[in-house]
Amino acid sequence: MMKVVIIGGAGGIGSSAAFNLLSAQGTYEIVLVDTRPYMITSHVMDQENALALGATPDTVRGGTPEDTLDADVVVLSAAVPLRLNSSRSVFLADNASIVGQCLRPLKDSGFGGVVLMLTNPVDALMTWVHRQGWLPRHRLIGYTLNDSLRLRTGIAYALGVHPRNVDAWMIGEHGEGQVPLYSRITVGGEPVVLTSEQRAAAEEYADNWYARHVALDSGRTSTWTTGLGTARLIEAVATDSGTVLPASVVLDGEYGVHGASLGVPVEVGRDGVRRVVEWDLTPGELHGMQQAAVRVEAAVDDMDDVSAAR
Ligand SMILES: NC(=O)c1ccc[n+]([C@@H]2O[C@H](COP(=O)([O-])OP(=O)(O)OC[C@H]3O[C@@H](n4cnc5c(N)ncnc54)[C@H](O)[C@@H]3O)[C@@H](O)[C@H]2O)c1
């Protein structure tokens, strides 16, 4: 049984990730941790009744930050509430303070598991945590799958096919510096080159998804997609599958980037990132990666300057 502790487990994506794990194939001890204890109790009272319908003998309960110490996977989705915004980056300082607080028990604890960062802005927070120097980069994974799913949906609408049949990858920053890989699209396993109109339509869908969704001012994030995607990522860890998924990882020279965490194709296994898969990119795509790295590092530098000045 794999112990998965979800910090922020009373929230939208934390509770959705827990729910999706309950119907996944692996067997999980799921522990929800949050600063809202009544909301944790509400989710546990509800989800424990779903156990009888589960495929495997999972368990679910509320817990405390100390539960992270012997966890196999710590999912970090704790955050300040969503509000109208023009970029995920506006949450950096506030969410860094929460992330720092949540990870504190793990420092110097001999923690041997994997941290899966969902909190935004994910690339900057990953870079910031890694700079603190206590967690090897392969055990720190940032969730960025949604960007590729949005690109696949946009392409599917542009071509009039089902999104399931489309394979397409968005790498780079989970945000303004995203890099669509138009050179690697397949539909039904066959390579496809989009016309300029199809590409414009797919790009419009993927690039503006976040702004369109935030503008609804619903107070909720992409809870269903993210919960399902998170469960898939955890299944890849649990089964040591070696599945290649897009995820944010601190790069060490791959794609010409040193020290910034960006979305890249990652082979996922029991210890987290087995390896970063290096594809041949076009000069334009590589330039996009460089630009994204500069953006992310500048944001973290600014933050470090602010905390050093305090
Ligand atoms: N990486 C991605 O693709 C992706 C996708 C969706 C959402 N997100 C991000 O994930 C984060 C959470 O989203 P959400 O929809 O679940 O938000 P939410 O507001 O529903 O949940 C956040 C939860 O964190 C809890 N929390 C706050 N401070 C805490 C602390 N110190 N310790 C424990 N719990 C704490 C809150 O009580 C709340 O339950 C946001 O930053 C959001 O932008 C990322």
The answer, yes or no, to whether residue 24 has pLDDT greater than 60, is yes
Phi, psi of 7 (to 5 degrees): -95, 120
- CATH dotted code for 2-144+226-238: 3.40.50.720
User: pLDDT digit string (tens) for 192-207?
Assistant: 999 999 999 999 999 9
- Asked if 20 contacts 235 with a C-beta cutoff of 8 angstroms, the reply is no
State what percent of residues in the chain have pLDDT above 90: 92
Q: What is the pLDDT of residue 306?
A: 61
Look-up of token digits 């790069």: 251
Ligand 1 centroid to Cα of residue 277, in Å, is: 29
What does the alpha-carbon distance between residue 274 and residue 158 come to, in Å, rounded to a whole number? 35
| Residue nearest ligand 1's atom 39 by CA | 11
Q: What is the pLDDT of residue 54?
A: 87
Q: Measured from the CA of 16, which atom of ligand 1 is nearest?
A: 16
Q: What is the pLDDT of residue 198?
A: 98
11 touches ligand 1 (CB under 6 Å)? yes
Domain boundaries along the sequence of the chain: 2-144+226-238, 145-218+242-302
> Hey, which bits of the chain come out as E strands?
2-7, 28-33, 59-62, 73-76, 114-117, 140-143, 166-167, 170-172, 178-180, 186-187, 190-191, 243-252, 258-269, 272-276
147 touches ligand 1 (CB under 6 Å)? no
143 touches ligand 1 (CB under 6 Å)? yes
What does the alpha-carbon distance between residue 61 and residue 48 come to, in Å, rounded to a whole number? 8
User: pLDDT digit string (tens) for 241-291?
Assistant: 999 999 999 999 999 999 999 999 999 999 999 999 999 999 999 999 999
What does the alpha-carbon distance between residue 34 and residue 11 come to, in Å, rounded to a whole number? 8
Architecture (CATH level 2) of domain 145-218+242-302: Alpha-Beta Complex (3.90)
Q: In what order do the strands lie in the sheet with 186-187?
A: 166-167, 186-187, 190-191
97 touches ligand 1 (CB under 6 Å)? no
Ligand 1 centroid to Cα of residue 246, in Å, is: 21
118 touches ligand 1 (CB under 6 Å)? yes
Ligand 1 centroid to Cα of residue 178, in Å, is: 22
* Intrachain domains 2-144+226-238 and 145-218+242-302 with the same fold: no
Ligand 1 centroid to Cα of residue 80, in Å, is: 7
The answer, yes or no, to whether residue 310 has pLDDT greater than 60, is no
